[in-house]
Chains A and B, each alone.
Chain A
Amino acid sequence: MYVLCIPAFVFVCIFSYGPMVGLLMAFQDYKPWLGITGSRWIGLDNFERIFQYKEATQAIVNTLIIAVSKIIVGIIVPIVMAILLSEIRNMGIKKSVQTLVYLPHFLSWVTVAGLMIDILGLDGGINHILTRIFGNDPIYFLGNPDLFRFTVVISDVWKSFGFGMIVYLATIAGINPSYYEAAEIDGATRRQQIRYVTLPSMLPMIIVISTLSLGNILDAGFDQVFNLYNPLVYSTGDIIDTYVYRSSLLNGQYGFGTAVGLFKSGISLILIVVSYRLAYKYANYKIF
């Protein structure tokens, strides 16, 4: 048994726990040519700077807004879609729709960004339709700071709602049909059946998924934002992860970048532990 775990153990030690040693840089004025042993220790200065730099605090605020909107929309849409899809009786259509809506989850954000840039551009498909209907000027979704967050949330839902539906659909499929029969005999309409049978049966799953998503509150999606944003929308679109990338690897502030990263990981860790506790308490959820 122990022997079988050795490969995994070695990999985890090197590639997961190894970088954690590097977190010491967060407390240093790190210079690559001096290394961790040679760089000067500066205590918590890097952390204080997070709240002094306007860009850094802005990135934290943006992260929170984008992540929270994504979580809310990302929970509601799959639930609604799963209920609606379960109302479809034609198996052929049901299966085809399912196959199609899962697909975007498997596309890379690079691909999706390519599609978005094209479709949301000034002469792209969406503007084509909008200007036809409303006669307005074309909207530049990706270059407008006011619309950027909206675009990020919507494109995230487009990519992930199908996949998010899977567990809900499974839950609905697992509901005992005799509940519906009983409700039917009691004269419940289809809408009442959804409200009093389907939704309560889904509730434990909804609670688990909502509480667990609490841990992602500082994760606004690096892959997505990095590929969609541009200097025009830094004010509303720059998130912690993209800020770390720009301030550290591009501008050489390794110590500061690491401090921002550690700040994020630390808070996320606390949130995840809390959310697992809650999920366990309210829905008896265990990870393994």
Chain B
Amino acid sequence: MYHKTTGYRVFSYFNYAFMILAGLACFLPLLHLLAQSLSSKAAISGNMVSFWPVGFNVDAYVKTFNNSNFNGAMLTSITRTVLGTTISMFILTCAGYALSKEFRGRNVLMWFFIFTMLFSGGLIPSYILITALGLKDTIWALVLPGAFGAYNLILLVNFFKTIPKALEEAAFIDGASFFVILSKIYLPLSLPGIATVSLFIMVGHWNSWFDGILYMSDASKYPLASFLQTVVVQSNMQSMAMSQSEVAAMSEQSIKAAQIFVSTLPIILVYPFLQRYFVKGIVLGAVKE
């Protein structure tokens, strides 16, 4: 079917090499991180570690898991992710199911929701609102403000719309309630969509760092990503204004690497299983022709 010309064959070899390189480029930095986390301090400062641990040891992981701040932050992140995803999915599936039907005022309501995607109060008004509601320093400040996302709603609405009406009508005649229709017909049939949106929300909660820094006045209440932000990024900014001895006293590179790696691990582990869903989910939910 394809022209087996020399030119195409040469292109093909280059293409294979290039694509494999591109794939590796997305993955090697993480491998480098893993290698660092398992290497000895001397090997890292001597710049000897690339993608394989030098002076193998797991001290960094022992120290990471003995760090009560790290564990506390991990717990906050897990709580937040579970709580946040549950609440969001409840709100979104209810509204998404309703809005996939035609009813009076549906378009007005839809635009009311979509408008939040186009325009927002911004940083300071949101901050003042959260403070005024007394949510500051509680986990609710991390969970509630982002619970509703218009983009995810659109994905779900588009998904629910692809399910044939006849199924619902048949179930209705058989005496099924709305709740039964939603849970027995819509949810299973739109699993790719549900999985995609849940994955986005979960990853969003797990990775979100700024709200933690903004709404938690005490660093011990930070979720994992905010904790890492202070350890990894802020310490780097400070190190530029520090003397050598101060830099040496800061957290070692191997510990930083271990902390980053542990925090990334859930994503790396969950993602291959959900990948087949999200590709389908995005394409079906976003592309309509």
Residues of A within 8 A of B (CB): 1-2, 4-5, 7-9, 11-12, 14-23, 25, 32, 81, 84-85, 87-88, 90, 93, 96-97, 99-104, 106-111, 113-115, 117-119, 123, 125, 128, 143, 158, 162, 166-167, 170-171, 180-181, 184, 189-190, 204-205, 215, 222-223, 226-227, 230-232, 241, 244-245, 248-249, 254, 257-258, 261-262, 264-265, 268-269, 272-273, 286-288
* Interface residue B109 (Cβ < 8 Å from any Cβ of A): yes
**Which of B18, B29, B127, B287 meets A84, CB within 8 Å?**
B18
Q: B25 to chain A: which residues have CB within 8 Å?
A: 158
Which 7 A-B pairs give the minimum distances between C-beta atoms?
A19-B121, A22-B125, A261-B122, A108-B207, A8-B95, A100-B23, A16-B116
Contact A181 B1 (CB under 8 A): yes
Chain B window 257-289, contacts with chain A (Cβ cutoff 8 Å), 1 for yes, 0 for no? 100100110011001100100010011001111
Q: A232 to chain B: which residues have CB within 8 Å?
A: 240
* Interface residue B236 (Cβ < 8 Å from any Cβ of A): yes
Q: A264 to chain B: which residues have CB within 8 Å?
A: 122
Q: A102 to chain B: which residues have CB within 8 Å?
A: 271, 275
Interface SS of chain B: helix, strand, loop or mixed?
A: helix
Q: A19-B129, A106-B271 are in contact. Are A115 and B225 (CB under 8 A)?
A: no
Contact A111 B91 (CB under 8 A): no
Q: A123 to chain B: which residues have CB within 8 Å?
A: 47
* Interface residue B247 (Cβ < 8 Å from any Cβ of A): no
By beta carbon, the residue of chain A nearest B103 is: A1
Q: How distant is B15 from chain A, measured CB to nearest CB, in Å? A: 6
Contact A7 B29 (CB under 8 A): no
Q: B144 to chain A: which residues have CB within 8 Å?
A: 11, 15
Contact A103 B26 (CB under 8 A): yes
Complex: A25 Cα to B18 Cα, angstroms: 53
Known: A16-B148, A111-B207. 15 other contacts (CB 8 A): A8-B148, A12-B112, A22-B126, A25-B124, A87-B11, A99-B275, A114-B256, A184-B2, A227-B229, A230-B236, A249-B127, A261-B122, A265-B120, A287-B114, A288-B114
By beta carbon, the residue of chain A nearest B274 is: A106
By beta carbon, the residue of chain A nearest B182 is: A4
Contact B122 A262 (CB under 8 A): yes
Q: How distant is B8 from chain A, measured CB to nearest CB, in Å? A: 5
Chain B window 39-78, contacts with chain A (Cβ cutoff 8 Å), 1 for yes, 0 for no? 0000000010010000000000000000000000000000
Q: How distant is B228 from chain A, measured CB to nearest CB, in Å? A: 5
Contact B283 A288 (CB under 8 A): no
Contact A125 B32 (CB under 8 A): yes
**Which of A93, A204, A249 meets B123, CB within 8 Å?**
A249
**Which of A14, A87, A226, A268 meets B210, CB within 8 Å?**
A226
Query: Counting chain A CB atoms within 10 Å of each CB, which of B103, B112, B123 scores highest?
Result: B123
Contact B94 A7 (CB under 8 A): yes
By beta carbon, the residue of chain A nearest B112 is: A12
Contact A8 B94 (CB under 8 A): yes
- Tally inter-chain residue pairs, CB-CB below 8 A: 256
Q: B267 to chain A: which residues have CB within 8 Å?
A: 106-107
Interface size on B, residues (CB 8 A): 99
Q: B216 to chain A: which residues have CB within 8 Å?
A: none
* Interface residue B85 (Cβ < 8 Å from any Cβ of A): no
Contact A205 B287 (CB under 8 A): yes
Q: B20 to chain A: which residues have CB within 8 Å?
A: 93, 97
Q: A269 to chain B: which residues have CB within 8 Å?
A: 118-119
Query: Counting chain B CB atoms within 10 Å of each CB, which of A5, A20, A21 scores highest?
Result: A5
Chain B window 231-245, contacts with chain A (Cβ cutoff 8 Å), 1 for yes, 0 for no? 011001100100000
Q: B119 to chain A: which residues have CB within 8 Å?
A: 20, 265, 268-269
Q: A93-B16, A99-B275, A184-B1 are in contact. Are A111 and B122 (CB under 8 A)?
A: no
By beta carbon, the residue of chain A nearest B154 is: A288
* Interface residue B180 (Cβ < 8 Å from any Cβ of A): no
Which residues between 193 and 227 of chain B lie within 8 Å of chain A, taking CB atoms?
203, 206-210, 214, 225
Q: A11-B144, A189-B5 are in contact. Are A261 and B123 (CB under 8 A)?
A: yes
Complex: A15 Cα to B124 Cα, angstroms: 13
Complex: A91 Cα to B88 Cα, angstroms: 36
Q: B271 to chain A: which residues have CB within 8 Å?
A: 102-103, 106
